[in-house]
Structure 1
Amino acid sequence: MAVPKRKMSRANTRMRRSQWKADNVALQEVKVDGQTVRIPRRLVKAAQLGLVDVEQF
């Protein structure tokens, strides 16, 4: 495991953290109640069971 050789300054730490960016969530087309909607893959089963309102997507 990599170990830093010396303490990193607060400014450098915050600069490094600010460069990190999350990826957009991949959407999947699913038919729910005869209507095709694009929702995140992790919500497909909940939408098919009617636990999630798909109108907000």
Structure 2
Amino acid sequence: MEQLAFNIRPCTPLDLDKLVVLIEKHAEFEKAVFTTEGKLASLEAALFGEQPPLNCIVA
């Protein structure tokens, strides 16, 4: 069996564009109404603000 190699790490501001796409695809799968408008700024504030209410890890 082939082993996959990946790196789990904290999300950085460089990951935010891809994170918005991931959220958009999940909303599409769930058949939920979603717009990307303003999401990048909202995620940046929620993840990297002074007292961020969210944590995110990526692989």
- Structure scoring higher RCO (CA < 8 A, sep ≥ 6) equals 2
TM-score by structure 1 length?
A: 0.27
TM-score by structure 2 length?
A: 0.27
Structure with greater proportional helix content? 2
Structure with greater proportional strand content? 1
Q: Which has the larger radius of gyration?
A: 1
